[in-house]
């Protein structure tokens, strides 16, 4: 089963993110705007085993504020990112705690984890550069409180199906 652990921020102005993703993100119709904490991995772990891991590794973690602003890109892979400006350290802490124990073997060490919300994926360099130019002056601020982490199942069509959620204190 393919799974991931993600945050679904509830911004008052999330429609602005939706508009960008509709234009630039091929996954916009498959999953809501999100921040990945544990990237997709294949596993036969039971739901109970995962819940136990969350309870153990995230014990005492509290809800926290985040702020996202500014769009940058990864030219090599064509991704467009809405950047985390506040709450970054806490998201990294969640990531590090979850990639311990039974999920430790799924950590991909070739890339440094940098929290973000993907708003586009344009593998064609010309399209990528054009999108980045169009979004150059985009400076909307997105703020909310993160109080829950979701574990999703990703089906063969890339649809996201929530398996369970974990509430932060």
pLDDT digits 0-9 by tens, 11-68: 999 999 999 999 999 999 999 999 999 999 999 999 999 999 999 999 999 999 999 9
How far is residue 145's CA from residue 73's CA, in Å, rounded to a whole number? 25
pLDDT tens per residue across span 95-107? 999 999 999 999 9
Structure tokens at 16: 């602005």
| SS3 label, residue 132 | helix
56 neighbors 48 (Cβ within 8 angstroms): no
More confident residue, 110 or 45: 45
Confidence (pLDDT) at 111 = 85
- Which CATH number describes the domain made up of 2-167? 3.90.1140.10
Q: What is the pTM (predicted TM-score) of this model? A: 0.95
Rounded to whole angstroms, the maximal C-alpha distance in the chain is 46
Task: Give the helix ranges, DSSP H, for the chain.
Answer: 14-24, 47-57, 88-98, 125-134
């Amino acid at each position: 089963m393919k799974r991931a652990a993600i945050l679904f921020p509830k911004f008052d102005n999330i429609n602005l993110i939706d508009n960008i993703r509709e234009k630039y993100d091929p996954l916009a119709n498959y999953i809501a705007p999100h921040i990945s904490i544990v990237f997709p991995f294949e596993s036969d772990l039971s739901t109970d085993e995962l819940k136990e891991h969350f309870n153990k590794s995230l014990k005492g973690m509290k809800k926290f504020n985040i702020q996202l602003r500014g769009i940058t890109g990864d030219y090599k892979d064509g991704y467009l990112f809405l950047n985390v400006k506040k709450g970054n350290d806490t998201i990294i802490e969640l990531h590090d705690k979850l990639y311990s124990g039974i999920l430790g073997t799924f950590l991909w060490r070739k890339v440094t984890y940098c929290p973000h919300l993907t708003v586009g994926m344009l593998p064609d360099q010309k399209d990528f550069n054009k999108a980045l130019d169009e979004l150059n002056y985009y400076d909307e601020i997105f703020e909310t409180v993160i109080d829950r982490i979701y574990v999703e199942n990703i089906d063969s069509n890339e649809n996201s199906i929530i398996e369970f959620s974990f509430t932060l204190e």
